[in-house]
Structure 1
Amino acid sequence: MTERPSSHAVEGHPAGDLGRRITQRRTELGMSRQETAAQAGMSPAYLQYLEERPPADPGAGTLLRLAGALKTTVWHLTGGDTELPPGLGRAARAPRFTELTEAECRSLLSTHGVGRLAVPEDAGPVVIPVNYSVIDGGIVFRTAPGTTPAQADGHQVAFEADRIDEAFSEGWSVLVRGPATTVTDPDEVARLEEQAYSTPWAGGRRDLWLRIEPVAVTGRRITVV
């Protein structure tokens, strides 16, 4: 396919799986569309076409250059690893393992994301993923009464979030420990609903809010020397 954009390509939101993955990856790296296009050896208009047009079907050479510019793999850009757990790549030859400060941990947790909640049960702890937000320094998430996440109420829990870069065998993880409590004040519930980033990916009615108050926040990062 020649690298010429559709005549209808305009500025807009990413569309299609490939477009979303390209946009997400360059956003993670803090790269503009112009910077990415220059490093991939293509015009910004063609990159815009790839990001915003679902029918876009670039050739193997274009995908290789784009993956190189975005420091990732063609497999990831095309969604080949969607159903696989992260971390399948080999360890780097010279990894560097460092402890993160609490400030660094909180920065990495940022405002929202998907993390793993460890909930105590009679048969042993259970770990489940939850969509979370960080509001006023606390980890908040919503669920439904009677669910496993709801059982965190009144217990000391652990919450973990991480990020893995398959292309470079690098990543980080942050662990938060503290008490989880149900948010019952109507005004506070309304404030959380207003400030939280999104509703749970699982869908359905999930109106029960829980908050984890961090008592201990630790983290680690693996980089390549």
Structure 2
Amino acid sequence: MEDDYRQWGTKEGGGFNEPTLTYKQNPAMETYLALRRAHPDAEIEISASRGLDALFRMEPELQKHGFDPADIAAILDADPEAISKVALQCMEKLIAAKELAARGETHLIGRGKAVPLALVDWIIMVALDGMSWTGQLEIQRDLIVLIQNRLGGIQGKYYRNSELHERKQNALFIAGQMLARGEKTGIRHLARLLGVEASSVSRWFEKGEFERESQRYASWFDDNGSLKPLLHRK
């Protein structure tokens, strides 16, 4: 029986396999996790947006916000050109709304000047459902960027932490190399070399951290500023 589940969400004789039917009856994360643990090799078809029926209900809302329902129908078939087209449209509308908000305009959705975020998320779900339904699981980069934006993008906490760590390492690498060559360095001088404000560099480090770590990094270099072999670094 498990071999049947490995087919494209179907069972012998037609129709969805049992894991797929169970998920579609209750498309929750808990349901999927239990099914996946119980049937690790099963093909579980996960589309949940109810296809064309949902599209017919959403047609007035889509048209109101400038989306062509025909493009959404094409997305349901995982058409890559339609996915890219609509993803870019969503980005344009989100950026336009952000610019209006930055100028102090309010109540943008109520005034028809911004697309509801819930609608953007629905479009993303339809695109992912279409890819699952058709088995065309190669995702378009335009859709990836849109999803990244809705997930917080580069403003997310962990992304920012990773970026901060990289900036600190680059700053300390330069400072350590300069110290090893006998050159004086400091926050202001380093900021000029990096092309950023001194206040920004200061915020990267706790009190005393820059001086302490700069000395440690300096031990990685010889007097000419060349990296020592790894075994000789402290």
TM-score tier, shorter chain, comes to under 0.3
The structure richer in helix per residue is: 2
Q: Tell me the TM-score normalized by structure 2.
A: 0.20
Q: Which has the larger radius of gyration?
A: 2
The structure richer in strand per residue is: 1
Q: Which has the higher contact order (CA 8 A, sep 6+)?
A: 1
